[in-house]
Chain A
Amino acid sequence: MSAWLAGAAVLVALLVPLGLAAAMRTPGDGLVALQLAGTITTVAVLLMAVGLGREPLGDLALVLAVSSFIGSLAYATTLGRAS
């Protein structure tokens, strides 16, 4: 296994505790975990694209970075207004 895929595997494993924290803690904590999970997922997909030699996955990482930002922004705005 190359360093790229090993790094991607570690990053995917890091998503599990973040998901648990988002599910079991307050919505504010979930929002913080969501923001970090978006960044981690973007890097993981980018590492997978290089490790697997599939460059189209790089496009997916770019789209994921944008959509993760928009989703977190919408969630934060909604959460702030709902209080």
Chain B
Amino acid sequence: MTIRNLPVIAINLARRFARRTAHWWSVGARESRGITRRARRAAEQVGGAGGALATASQASVRAGIRASRRLDRFGEHVVTPIREERAVLRRIERIASGRAPIVLGPWISEVGYEVLYWVPFLRWFQDRYGIHPDRLMAVSRGGPSWWYAGIAARYVDVLSLYGSVQFAEQAAARRTAGDQKQGEPSQWERQIVADVCRRTGVSRPNVLSPGLMYRLFRHVWHGDRSLDFLLRHTEFPQLSAPRAPDDDWLPPTFAAVKFYTGPALPDTPDTRAQLRTCVARLSERMPIVTLDTGLGLDEHRDYLFGDVPGVLDLRGRMTPETNLGVQSRVVARASLFVGTCGSLAWLAPMLGVPTVGLYADDRHLSGHLYVARYAYRRMKAARFSAVDLAALAQVA
């Protein structure tokens, strides 16, 4: 035994301790339920024997029921998430170990989750396991290669392997199958990894799939793990976008605007009218560059404001393979970002751009707003304000 093995021994002992604790916990919970049942039966039997005795047994039954429920809840909300966390982290450790190249992705789902969770999670992964960027290859879609700068030395775009039509069809099929969040790697994801390896000449890589990140953080989104847990598995540094000569046409001061339909901002006549008013008023103060792509790569559709005076757009300045990279570069140059609360609205504060995210329904936003605000405060990001359209209707 060398001193080098001590941490490994300690970890193995801790794991064995955790396994035994979990085992005894479930045994204890089972026993406690048995005791409660027996106590209830006993209480029923002695019910008529005397007031004091009956009251005492009822009190102990109640205490037993409370203890049993508490154990169940503790198991459900604490023990299960911790066991799942350990399982996921063990898989992540296996991926990080050795010298094989690691494919990060492929990321083919929502932009919001990518910027708010996936990229910070990868930054944590790279730093935590001390992996050199040369070993890492990020795979995403739409050209956001610079989001992965400092994490992975190589980037492959899914849209450089497949046409945008095929990508959109596969994405629609995935949504129809109910796999919006890339839970388990699908057949198509495995195909992407295989094609990426063929293209880059990488053989037998380890794959860090987004499904692992979703498994690790889903208990945070469901409310069973703390915010602190998420912040311990992510790193949020400020980002800076590369400058490109293609961006010289942008006005020196402008607001980047991106409004798209989704659960947070459903497409209704009222919403359209309110957004139009906002954009029209904003255009009186500064030029506006709208980031609508017209590409239809996902289920969201852009709200269009081309007829509002002073509004510029990016049409003709991007292709499916470059659309996200171009949009986010434009956001980085803006003095203000205004858009649907989601997607690039989570990225803009990280780029140092003050951001206003608008929504009409915050049912699915609450947890993300909570995370984002703490993360932004920690990374000293630009100011982020989420505004309910209902409030604007009342007071502005």
Do the two chains bind? no
List B residues at the A interface (Cβ < 8 Å).
none
